[in-house]
Amino acid sequence: MISASHNPMPDNGIKFFAKGGGKLDDALEAAIEARLNEPWDRPIGREVGRVIFDESASERYIYHLLSTLKVNLSGIKVVVDCANGAASEVAPEVYARAGAEVIAISNQPNGLNINENCGSTHLANLISEVKKNGADLGIAHDGDADRALAIDASGKVIDGDFILAILAKEWRVPTVVGTVMTNLGFIKAMSEAGISFEKTPVGDRYVLENMLANGHKLGGEQSGHIIMRDLANTGDGLLTALQLMSVMASSKKSLANLAEVMERFPQTLINIEDVDKSKLATSKALAIAISEYESKLGTSGRILVRASGTEPLVRVMVEAESQILAEEIAQKLAALVRLELA
């Protein structure tokens, strides 16, 4: 697969998948990269190989998605932001066939405009369209459509934690898998509902590894990667959106009402560019500062400082009982990151 996930076109790379559609483990990916960096013959002409276009693939995919639904989505009005990417044709089609009234935006890909001021990392236009059209919800996909975020009728963002909580409660799963970025409010809500929570590093591959190793059925990330193992082996944004709308249809509840399943802890996330990520693990000053702030927060907050796995930056995330406190600590740590990792 050629993809840059939620990033712009120049960041595109080639992604390999294992048999069954799962992602490769780190060791195998590293071996492929090492092999490609070695000298090797670049065949030309008839030796290059063939590209096979499967005209029936989209229809088979749509059929599979619709087969997972137990209710019709009639009465639901949805605005879908296709990120000018892979979902541009299929998402509006499948939501409409499922019975929803669909308004599609950012569904005119030209090979260059993927994720450009649209999609799951640029929600302003979708929020505006949801309000303007009086829609029940909005769905934002990223370029390769493996994630989905939602917008309720009032324009509030319903991220992957909320979607995961809604599905976990609806399906009554015994355990749900998240990551170190999962909001404390989600963890608290699951505990109160009698649902166990297991934590992995950031990345849907690690969520899936845990699910496969332990037999869990539901997991995901705040970013909108949701894995439902009874329905698919990987995150699928269209499948996620359909299941979310299915809960709305069967419960006859609004998205805002369903999202009351959890209360989000105030969170501040700062992305810091132009720093040396490799210095992060060896900065004693940063480690001391993080430890001191963690002691200050106690059990009412947490701190995560990590290097991004997909972008050239360091992320500082702070959760606290108040937005002011989270912002204050995050800004101080961000300043220290810039100083220490310069």
pLDDT of residue 41: 79
Say which range, 9-13, 176-180, 267-271, has the weakest mean pLDDT: 9-13
How confident is the model over 246-263, as a mean pLDDT? 98
Identify the domain boundary among 264, 280, 301.
264
The answer as to whether 222 is a domain residue is: no
pLDDT-derived band at 13, boundaries 50, 70, 90? confident
Closest CA to 207 of 32, 31, 23, 33: 23
Concerning whether 5 is annotated as a catalytic residue, the answer is: yes
Identify the pLDDT of residue 296: 92
Q: Note the pLDDT of residue 171.
A: 97
Q: Is 295 part of any domain?
A: yes
Q: Residue 186: inside a domain, yes or no?
A: no
Express each pLDDT in 166-211 by its tens digit.
999 999 999 999 999 999 999 999 999 999 999 999 988 899 999 9
Q: Which amino acid is at 236?
A: D
- 38 in a domain, yes or no? yes
Chain-centre distance for alpha carbon 122: 13
| Residues 51 and 88 placed together within one structural domain of the fold | yes
Q: Quick check: is 4 in a domain?
A: yes
Query: Tell me, what's the pLDDT at 12?
Result: 81
Amino acid found at 3: S
123 with 149, same domain: the answer is yes
Asked if residue 89 and residue 109 are part of one domain, the reply reads yes
Count of positions (residues) in the chain: 342
Are 140 and 112 contained in the same domain? yes
Q: Element (H or E) spanning 331, and its range?
A: helix 323-340
Say if residue 258 is in the same domain as residue 271: no
Average pLDDT, integer, range 63-88 = 97
Query: Are 297 and 327 part of one and the same domain?
Result: yes
Query: Which CATH number do you get for residue 112?
Result: 3.40.120.10
> Are residues 156 and 35 part of one domain?
yes
Q: What pLDDT does residue 278 have?
A: 87
- Please state, rounded to an integer, the average pLDDT across all residues of the chain: 93
- Tell me the C-alpha to C-alpha distance, in Å, between residue 167 and each of 104, 232, 248, 309, 319: 25, 15, 11, 27, 24
Residue 106 lies in a domain: yes
254 and 315 housed in the same domain: no
Long-range contact pairs involving 37-44 (C-beta distance under 8 Å, separation at least 24)? none
Q: Which of 5, 106, 120, 246 is catalytic?
A: 5
**55 and 9 assigned to the same domain:** yes
Q: Does the pLDDT value for residue 165 go beyond 90?
A: yes
CA distances from 67 to 63, 64, 172, 333 (A): 6, 5, 21, 48
**Token code pair at residue 94:** 């499948």
207-221 pLDDT, tens per residue?
Answer: 999 999 999 999 999
Q: Are residues 154 and 279 in the same domain?
A: no
Look up the domain containing 55 and give its range: 1-172+236-264
Closest CA to 73 of 102, 115, 38: 102
Give the domain CATH number at 316: 3.30.310.50
Residue 274 inside a domain? The answer is yes
Provide the number of structural domains found in the chain: 2
Please report the pLDDT score of residue 122 as a whole number.
96
How many CB atoms are closer than 10 A to CB 158?
23
Residue 11: pLDDT band (50, 70, 90) is confident
Mean pLDDT of 22-43: 85
Q: What is the pLDDT of residue 8?
A: 79
Nearest Cα neighbor of 149 from 133, 170, 164, 131 is 164
Q: Let me know if residue 202 belongs to a domain.
A: no
Checking if the pLDDT of 162 tops 90, the result is yes
pLDDT the model gives residue 132: 98
> pLDDT tens digits for 90-131?
999 999 999 999 999 999 999 899 999 999 999 999 999 999
